[in-house]
Structure 1
Amino acid sequence: MYQQIKLTGITKVYGKQDIKTIALDDISLHLHKDDFTSIIGSSGSGKSTLLSIIGTLEKPTSGTVFYNEKNISQLRTNQLSELRNKHIGFIFQQFHLLPALTAVENVLAPLFHRKTGYNKNTKAKELLELVGLSDKLHALPSQLSGGQQQRVAIARALIAKPDWILADEPTGNLDSETCGKIIALLMEIKREADCGVLLVTHDMGLSRQADRVIEMKDGQIIADTKLNDKQSQIND
């Protein structure tokens, strides 16, 4: 189980020479699984790029990422894929549900070709019950509201029993009332599933429900606030 994720000197550059874009500029960060952490910032601040590097979807241009004491920057592509599949669950703004599959089949999709030490079908049904959709097991995405589709996506992210849930603007396509319910659900899931939650959002109101708020601007962390003690620190 990966209790901590540590980033040191992370830089991400897109393009080359005079047309390059610096998406992340010397980011160092220590994340703890016990915290519900939000990353806040406007469009172009680098928050989604940072989440992608934390989740091994992208590699940094320079710098190092540690899962516990393991330097994952040295892992091969197939090793990163295995780590990602076993230990990280992703939730995105777009639900990415397969339209021809039912809710329970969409939850099972990440495990279609994987062996597990538990009954996959039973686990999928338990997760849909956890997110309040026990009566929608056989519904297609087209038969579900936006909030219900996002709940299916959350259940799908949990099916492999990950150590971390990484959520990139998961409420971006939802109304304000449903947004609040989804955030409350993520907080409940953190307690029930004992997993770390890292939430990227541009909504300061939503971010303030987290234990810790990391604020980004122009590819840098400008504030790191622990809300439970109301102390704010500016990263060096």
Structure 2
Amino acid sequence: MQNFAFSLTKPGISRRESMVIILRFVDKNSFIKERFFHIVHVRDTTALTIKKEICVVLSRYNLHIENIRGQGYDGASHMRGEWNVLKALFLNECPYAYYVHCMAHKLQLVLVTASREVKVVYQFFDHLTNIINIVVSSSMRNDESQYAQGIQIENMIASNEIETRRGANQIGTLQRAGYTHWGSHFQSICSLIKNFDATCKVISTIFEDNVVMSRELIMY
């Protein structure tokens, strides 16, 4: 008899609504294992749609709803509420599919809340958010940042400062930190470090444009 639990998360990289299914199960040697199972694009994030897609994936691999022994999601109301939500829909078919709030999600919320009480940490991420908004919110500035990254990568390759291989030296964008996304604050910092020179160039261009505009207004 198959006993397994699954959790669901929505990645923020894709522009389409998606869900990742992760299975937590007990193998034949009674060891608990957790494995990435499937990623599915969904039309919407209603409980009925998500349940339908999960059931389709499970049935494709001959995994049965009645064997679910747990389900874990983040704190979204349409996932863990009491009525007509994903948790309840699975419990209606399998009363043993006990719900557990995602521990990584709860820990992330605790860490974010605690960090706000440390002034230097709060100010750091506040400044980081402002910098990212300045660059990413404008398509023109974002294009300028990516162009600057391309020039920098070309120069570093020419001077043998970085290695070249398939998939390396990709041009990226600054990543916003999400309060509910585990590890997103670290990824946001890493994206700024990686794109630091290009980001400085964009901000410098904005500053220079504002200076020129101010002079023109004064002269006028």
The TM-score bracket by the shorter chain reads under 0.3
Q: Which has the higher helix share?
A: 2
Higher Cα Rg, which structure? 2
Relative contact order (C-alpha < 8 Å, sep 6+): which is higher?
Answer: 1
TM-score (norm 1): 0.22
TM-score (norm 2): 0.23
Q: Which has the higher strand share?
A: 1
